Structure 1
């Protein structure tokens, strides 16, 4: 490990950036499993011969890049890439639990109001229809991963206080179950506010997602706009061949 993390003679790059680069390559090789703890600053300092200040700056750089994550009171860990099924209608909370992590929510807003023209069109409701507005930060294992803003026709959610961690659980309790949906993803850069909320670096890559879900009868349930950390998420979809076994290669 000492050889992998050693500084290069004649390299004018600041030492902490050299160490960050070498650590990044070391982790990419699979030397430390995703989710495992990084050696302590003291151990890395002893191995590399660099000061703890240099080691700390290198670690902070990799945390800003999303390569590492720091968990309060536990240490620094190699970040896991999350494979999210892009073709399956599921909730953030259920996905987190399926990974063995506890979902969490920090509420930004929770109130009734009227939809904008775009929201009314997406939900197929008339202007002036009463809707529930739900803004929140989604956490998994205590780490902020997404910001969600959902708009739901109020008759689907007669009691806002019923919405705790999972919107879908509150809808199910009210007898409403999303059965189908349409989802659109775009790659963008985080705004300064989004980066701050998600503990990401300035101008970090994010995935902007718009989702409209419907009941089996075709009634719109929600119109949700989300921002997911691009350094943590891969959205994966199953593909099938064309009828008759053809391809699009030609």
Structure 2
């Protein structure tokens, strides 16, 4: 801890409040690499004891760094240095799966399954997919990662008549749908701003209330049949959505 916090910010005669000097010292340690992305900070009481200031002062400095995006707080785990803000530009003119998009950028993709099951359609799903009450759907809910970084939460629903076996989806949903002749060829997509609830925020490694982009996508196959309804949450600090407009 001394290598990180021994910046002389407590030296007599220096101006400014202690919490701001501590804040600047941590910020410098992040900037010059002494504190690395995803590295845990010592507990607030350990910082306070180690440099001889109050926990209130330490907490105030940490809260300011959290507000600035330098530090991330994980409930039950502590304070961590935030990852460098690497943003992905996603075009809006082509229909691609997450896997196809990320692999085209040279990123390694992976998923963490949240649910992979077949069950009875609910009223909202039935309306979107034009199904009758009682019909079956495959539910494919997962956390999507690129180079081990959580990027998005996808909750896809596909008619079981299109994809009867949810376990058939390994990495790419669209690859599995193409294998049975129902790959989507067009989609209607609606995008809105959202704030993450506690559970979704925890999955993405963000604080509850963090900004996200909510996307509802309804996809159709070559026979113009509705074959996929997906609700996605993309982390707001990782994506820029880009569209080319012409007159």
* TM-score between both structures, scaled by the size of structure 2: 0.73
Contact kept in structure 1, 2:139 and 2:166, CA below 8 Å: no
Deviation, 1:21, is: 6.3
Superposed, which structure 2 residues align to 1:184-203 within 5 Å? 184-203=190-209
Deviation, 1:110, is: 0.8
SS at match of 2:193: strand
Task: Identify the match of residue 121 of structure 1 among 110, 127, 138.
Answer: 127
Structure 1 CA distance, aligned partners of 2:163 and 2:117?
11
Deviation, 1:155, is: 1.5
Deviation, 1:183, is: 0.7
Q: What runs of 5+ residues in structure 2 fail to find an aligned partner? A: 1-6, 37-47, 52-57, 74-80
Whether 1:62 aligns to 2:70 is yes
Task: Identify the match of residue 136 of structure 1 among 139, 142, 148.
Answer: 142
Superposed, which structure 2 residues align to 1:93-112 within 5 Å? 93-112=99-118
Whether 1:183 aligns to 2:183 is no
Find the counterpart in structure 1 of residue 34 from structure 2: 40
Structure 1 CA distance, aligned partners of 2:22 and 2:222?
55
Structure 1 CA distance, aligned partners of 2:166 and 2:8?
56
Contact kept in structure 1, 2:85 and 2:237, CA below 8 Å: no
Provide closer, same or farther for how the CA distance between residues 144 and 77 of structure 1 changes in structure 2, counting only shifts above 3 A: closer
Deviation, 1:145, is: 0.8
Deviation, 1:40, is: 3.2
Task: Identify the match of residue 153 of structure 2 among 127, 135, 147.
Answer: 147
Deviation, 1:159, is: 2.2
Find the counterpart in structure 2 of residue 11 from structure 1: 16
Contact kept in structure 1, 2:72 and 2:82, CA below 8 Å: no
Provide closer, same or farther for how the CA distance between residues 228 and 153 of structure 1 changes in structure 2, counting only shifts above 3 A: same
Contact kept in structure 1, 2:69 and 2:82, CA below 8 Å: no
Contact kept in structure 2, 1:20 and 1:61, CA below 8 Å: no
Task: Identify the match of residue 91 of structure 1 among 83, 90, 97.
Answer: 97
Provide closer, same or farther for how the CA distance between residues 136 and 215 of structure 1 changes in structure 2, counting only shifts above 3 A: same
Q: CA RMSD in A?
A: 3.2
Give the total of aligned pairs.
207
Deviations 1:120-158 (A, max 9, x none): 111111111111111111111011111111110001112
Deviation, 1:164, is: 0.7
Structure 2 CA distance, aligned partners of 1:15 and 1:167?
50
Find the counterpart in structure 2 of residue 247 from structure 1: none
SS at match of 1:155: coil
Task: Identify the match of residue 165 of structure 1 among 162, 165, 171.
Answer: 171
SS at match of 1:208: strand
Provide closer, same or farther for how the CA distance between residues 177 and 22 of structure 1 changes in structure 2, counting only shifts above 3 A: same
